[in-house]
Structure 1
Amino acid sequence: MLKVYNTASASKEVFKPIQAGKVTMYVCGPTVYNYIHVGNARSSIAFDTIRRYLIYRGYQVNFVSNFTDVDDKIINRAQEEGVSEKEIADKYIKAFYADTKPLNILPATTRTKATDVIDDIIAFIADLIDKGYAYESSGDVYFRVRKAKNYTALVHESLDDLETGASGRLDDGALALKEDPLDFALWKNEPRHVIKWQSPWGQGRPGWHIECSVMSTKYLGDTIDIHGGGIDLVFPHHTDEIAQSEAHTGKTFVHYWLHNGFVNVNNEKMSKSLGNFTTVHDLLASYDDPQVIRYFMSATHYRRPINYSADELDRAKVELDRIRQAYQRLAHASKTVGADAEITDNLAVIEKNFVTAMDDDFNVANALSAVFELVKLANSYADSGRSKQDSADAILAILSQLMGVFGIDLQANAAARPLPDNVSQLLAARKQARIDKDWAASDRLRDQIHALGYLVKDLPDGQHTEKA
């Protein structure tokens, strides 16, 4: 029974989709004015892993995400570079696809842009005005927060606390346009010669929060199963989404709110001011194995913060290589015809443990414990000298399937990274030398393997090899 942690209730809840066997899921995408950073990648990978697990459990997932392609940051970047806002957005949308493809992130069922739904946004806002939830002020349109039902449900703070924070963030000019400091912009008057659209309230552009409400209801319906994003989006973005969406439709907007944790860099919050801001574009250019990056980010529970560092990435590489090598060793081991009942029983237990872990709010740490039990089984079966084809195939299929939940393609990796015959022969000789306790021969063979471009590591489940 799948349980997920719902930010709205601050507790784990049994997951019951609106329609049996189907899941509607919306995840906030990036503002496309620069290359995505590792924090953006963390959110994309976290919810891709959740999506993959839902698919593994048999659900049909309708996954919608967006690009914010009209925003002050985009306008500023366009003016700095002397190009149009569309050119900036198109450049970094293209970069998003280029940078997420190596991380094996599944394409969204629908990936839409704010500029694709301007007419829908205007109609949505007009409806809110007609219902008394919004008002025009000098060409801007604002949402009346105090008219919303239970506005603080997601953030778990009082309106008074939120008002104090809002007042401190606004200058006198912004406050003068609002009926209340808490009110937020649905439409922004735009007097500059920048990207804008004609509306009933003059020329302008949408506020940030409105686009996700419009896209979610347009492509997934008035009520959806899961809405995801970074923990920094709880307030004001997702709080405002709930208010405007439920005012518009009169229905519950989202049943389960899921939020991923931050990314720290070397134990410090990532920020440009600290000089530790890392884009995925630069990381991919400097690191030759994107699947290690994927595994590193998938292997931490989505609600926990991730500490990104070179050492942590190296640790992830060691773990992933153990899994890859176990797959390769069993794939290339000699086998006889038939199956082992004991292996079938072991696989059933391991799969059950994996599902139990992931059903507990996607507990990837415990799920990976089950994966490494499978790795141990693969290695021991490869070394047994009595492996049978059907059982070996079953181990490989399940290992591939479980790692597929984490976005790791072991079959492609096995085809791409076979060990040369001379390296395999030296490894076999070294294994025998260690069994014979001939440590001098073991060291000599290790050096020979290293000279051929491979490192050997002795781990509890045996020797493991990786490119030097």
Structure 2
Amino acid sequence: MRSWSSPDVPSLAELGLGVGPVVRVHDTATRDLRPSDPAETARLYVCGITPYDATHMGHAATYLAFDLLQRAWRDHGLDVDYTQNVTDVDDPLLERALATGVDWMDLAAREIELFREDMTALRIIPPANYVGAVETIDLVVGLIDRLDQAGSVYRVDEDLYFDVHADAGFGAVSGLTEEQMLRIFPERGGDPDRPGKKHPLDCLLWQAERPGEPSWETRLGKGRPGWHVECAAIALEHLGTDFDVQGGGSDLVFPHHEMSASEATVATHEPFAQSYVHAGMVGFEGEKMSKSKGNLVLVSKLRAAGHDPMAIRLALLAHHYRSDWEWFGEEITAAEKRLAVWRAAVSRTVAPSGPDLVTVIRTAMTNDLDAPSALDAIDAWAADDSAADPQAGRTVRTAIDTLLGVKL
């Protein structure tokens, strides 16, 4: 599947400012900050959209978080191998297509293209491998075969399920108790009450053909993949085992990332990822942001209303990526004001020291992607009317572009 165009990311090293520190990010599995410092190439997998709706601010906040991680890695001198999936066949997509009378493939294609446009406008670094579920049926079937050989697959009617307790470490990613898992599982696509399952938490690997739904003819029978095995198969194919970061929104910790990790571990006998990094949820004026409530704040609508994409990006950067927060109308107003102040500040003939500010921004961004602290430091620099460095404007402009992705 085609990705989107990549923004130009300037190099601070080319300005004689060396490379940034080792990146530390919060690992959900260990509940602690962990250094992420591979030898040459950082490997990143981020779970992508199910394309039944447009990009809202929660989506944008998640993909921005992992854009910041890529920028911090690159500033440290690393290459990045980034893979993202698109769940372009799944129940929510099929349900929306049926409800709106649109062919599910047309709906998916339309929303994927809008997502590409939004990511391009926000200057999000694209994945090298942008992979749809529909194009990975053979990969999924191969992984299910490996799980079957490991004795962790069983049949319920014509569907195939994964025995989650075949993984001795099941539960390590989320740290949840079984009671907590059972409460969350049905809220996030699970079917704990299905008759015939060995355990309520066992998850679907392969769904046999249903009347009126898309399916593919395979050696497993005619059907389509389960959600968790899709991501496990794509990640293993493009990144291998024990890759650096598995990322996504915090709503994916359980069951999605827990299940994907267990499936991959049972199949390969190797760790799935070194760290599990999750972005917080974005609400709207005290409520969950959702289509049913009609309160989605869409990136495309903000752009259509004339808001500068860099102001949208700044509005997101004002919140730490791991925090849960609420979108209010003044978010974009404050971001546009900040953007104007910064653009004026970097245009000054002489300004306070640029390299000193670069050090502060780098320190913030390599300390669990602390964008709000970086923004505060830039605000203080912009407000300082002392004049010492004739190159400061260029230096700071480059640093803001390189590390925060904001084009001034």
Q: TM-score, normalised by structure 2?
A: 0.88
Is the 8 Å Cα contact of residues 27 and 65 (structure 1) preserved in structure 2? yes
Q: State yes or no: 1:201 paired with 2:214.
A: no
Aligned CA distance change for structure 1 residues 265 and 179 (closer, same or farther; 3 Å): same
Query: How far off is 1:376 after superposition?
Result: 4.0
Q: Which amino acid aligns with 1:356?
A: T
Aligned to 1:236: 255
Q: State yes or no: 1:321 paired with 2:340.
A: yes
Aligned to 2:364: 357
Say which of 122, 125, 135 aligns to 1:103.
122
Aligned to 2:75: 56
Structure 2, unmatched stretches of 5+, are 1-21
Say which of 27, 30, 37 aligns to 1:16.
37
Q: Which runs of structure 2 are paired with 1:241-390 in the superposition (5 Å)? A: 241-328=260-347, 330=348, 333=349, 346-376=353-383, 380-381=386-387
Q: Which runs of structure 2 are paired with 1:26-175 in the superposition (5 Å)? A: 26-163=45-182, 166=185, 175=194
Question: What is the DSSP-based 3-state SS (H/G/I as helix, E as strand, rest coil) of the residue aligned with 2:406?
Answer: coil
Q: Distance in 2 between matches of 1:211 and 1:294?
A: 30
Q: Which amino acid aligns with 2:32?
A: S
Question: What is the DSSP-based 3-state SS (H/G/I as helix, E as strand, rest coil) of the residue aligned with 2:26?
Answer: strand
Deviation larger for 284-293 or 6-15 = 284-293
Q: Distance in 1 between matches of 2:406 and 2:324?
A: 21
Is the 8 Å Cα contact of residues 136 and 201 (structure 1) preserved in structure 2? no
Q: Which amino acid aligns with 1:12?
A: L
Q: Larger Rg: 1 or 2? A: 1
Aligned CA distance change for structure 1 residues 164 and 296 (closer, same or farther; 3 Å): closer
Q: State yes or no: 1:397 paired with 2:404.
A: no
Q: Which amino acid aligns with 1:362?
A: L
Deviation readout 1:123-166 (Å, 9 max, x if unpaired): 11111011111112222110101221221111112234434655
Say which of 200, 218, 229 aligns to 2:237.
218
Aligned to 1:185: 204
Is the 8 Å Cα contact of residues 139 and 201 (structure 1) preserved in structure 2? no
Structure 1, unmatched stretches of 5+, are 336-341, 382-386, 411-468
Q: Which amino acid aligns with 1:138?
A: D
**Greater helix share, structure number:** 1
Question: What is the DSSP-based 3-state SS (H/G/I as helix, E as strand, rest coil) of the residue aligned with 2:294?
Answer: coil
Q: Distance in 2 between matches of 1:83 and 1:405?
A: 41
Q: State yes or no: 1:6 paired with 2:27.
A: yes
Aligned to 1:407: 405
Q: Distance in 2 between matches of 1:366 and 1:155?
A: 28
Q: Distance in 2 between matches of 1:157 and 1:38?
A: 27
RMSD: 2.4
Q: Distance in 2 between matches of 1:398 and 1:14?
A: 26
Question: What is the DSSP-based 3-state SS (H/G/I as helix, E as strand, rest coil) of the residue aligned with 1:36?
Answer: coil
Q: Distance in 2 between matches of 1:81 and 1:315?
A: 37
Question: What is the DSSP-based 3-state SS (H/G/I as helix, E as strand, rest coil) of the residue aligned with 1:93?
Answer: helix
Q: Distance in 2 between matches of 1:395 and 1:173?
A: 58
Q: Distance in 1 between matches of 2:192 and 2:121?
A: 46
Following TM superposition, the consecutive aligned residue runs of length 4 or more in structure 1 with deviations greater than 6 angstroms are 167-173
Q: Which amino acid aligns with 1:397?
A: T
Q: Which amino acid aligns with 2:24?
A: K
Is the 8 Å Cα contact of residues 261 and 305 (structure 1) preserved in structure 2? yes
Q: Distance in 1 between matches of 2:315 and 2:271?
A: 36
Q: Distance in 2 between matches of 1:366 and 1:173?
A: 43
Query: How far off is 1:50 after superposition?
Result: 1.9
Q: Distance in 1 between matches of 2:189 and 2:117?
A: 38
- Identity rate, percent: 31
